[in-house]
Structure 1
């Protein structure tokens, strides 16, 4: 967990297939992971090798301008995107899922919210069995029950399966790859859309929340009430200076080299 373990401490509660993770920043943790965090944010909007090629060809400032064109300027859009970024990184770092498509690279307006599942994780388990992670993220200065309820409703939509449009988007991007393994995974995802063969036990759910306040009791109550036929993960990362922190992250992530 290269980002989170140096940054946060985690209190965990486990009941059967349900896990509640409460993350808080360590003293000095933010400073320790700052450079990695900025790089991570950049990767969700563009390929690092393309950014480097822009810088070599045009210089740092013009390359930074290209990157800024992709990144949101609106406070609410930044908050939502940042929640998705942190949720995706946590899912990959801790659960063994691969988030094969960084969907923020495909926004058709930098301040617009993307529709569909916030993040989808995939893994091919032993015996070539496909397993999926359906994820929702909520980022709020003051996290309260309505946002948690909204996230749970999204997870339960489509009988708890990844929404077909979101899964097809991931599948198509994998089929565009030159990697035969990616192409095979893309075909497997398209098959799942058509066949709906995965049982609930192989479609995990994660509700990730980023907030300026400590998580309300409704977060645990929501997890307690969630279905027990699949693995359920509820996460809160508490960052007291939520809005200021997110704003600073985006301003600094849009700077390159000596720009």
Structure 2
């Protein structure tokens, strides 16, 4: 599901291992992806087969009620989740790594933020042999400022820049529960990494992902300039001018399963 290419115009710059990407909505782009984005949001909270089973057993209205119970109802909760969802979709579309576990399906409470790394991308090198990770922090703000950027960078740098063990183990264990042998193999690699900590920094990339109503704040470039070049560093901004109104509208659409 390629959202970004249809939705936004992108400006991308690169210097060595530093990537600065900004996205602005195209004229008419929102209409092209609105239904698909609502569907993507649903799938971050539940599996399609479970939603379909609810519809078959109980009808669309009750199935929608069940799905709604998994989704945050506060502005803050929706904004935070929305940032993680957009970041996950971008990593898989633009970076080429998997974000193999939709962690919002496992929240303790729908309005509560989850602990640990916001998103983890995982895969292997070009030869398909060596594990490769991406540690990500997502921020969604009506007005993005320097304090938010500074806070996100501190989170990325903690644990010596590595994915936190609890976050990595959570993803690993979910993959090991899968019936897919490829998932099992990746889960085993991640679980091994929790114990061995064998990955060098140059195979643990970082992404500071932001979505905001005021567009890319100057602190984003300043933050990227200050990072090291021992790993790929992605700094990303998605500019959605009507930030809060758009989030409210897309969640309303996501909660509505229709009647056919």
Shift of 1:258: 2.3
Partner of 2:68: 68
| 2-structure distance, mates of 1:180, 1:216 | 43
| 2-structure distance, mates of 1:37, 1:214 | 20
Partner of 2:39: 39
- TM-score between the two structures when normalised by the length of structure 1: 0.98
Partner of 2:50: 50
Shift of 1:153: 0.5
Shift of 1:127: 4.7
Partner of 1:232: 233
Unaligned runs of 5+ in 2: none
| 2-structure distance, mates of 1:184, 1:96 | 18
Root-mean-square deviation (CA, aligned residues, Å) is 1.0
After TM superposition, the structure 1 = structure 2 runs for residues 77-116 of structure 1, keeping only pairs within 5 Å, are 77-116=77-116
| 2-structure distance, mates of 1:93, 1:69 | 28
Deviations 1:119-169 (A, max 9, x none): 001002215100000000000000000000011111101000000000000
| 2-structure distance, mates of 1:182, 1:238 | 34
After TM superposition, the structure 1 = structure 2 runs for residues 161-172 of structure 1, keeping only pairs within 5 Å, are 161-172=162-173
Deviations 1:207-249 (A, max 9, x none): 1000000211110000000111000000000001000100111
Unaligned runs of 5+ in 1: none
| 2-structure distance, mates of 1:217, 1:58 | 50
After TM superposition, the structure 1 = structure 2 runs for residues 198-213 of structure 1, keeping only pairs within 5 Å, are 198-213=199-214
Shift of 1:252: 1.2
Shift of 1:184: 1.6
Partner of 2:28: 28
After TM superposition, the structure 1 = structure 2 runs for residues 148-163 of structure 1, keeping only pairs within 5 Å, are 148-163=149-164
Partner of 2:187: 186
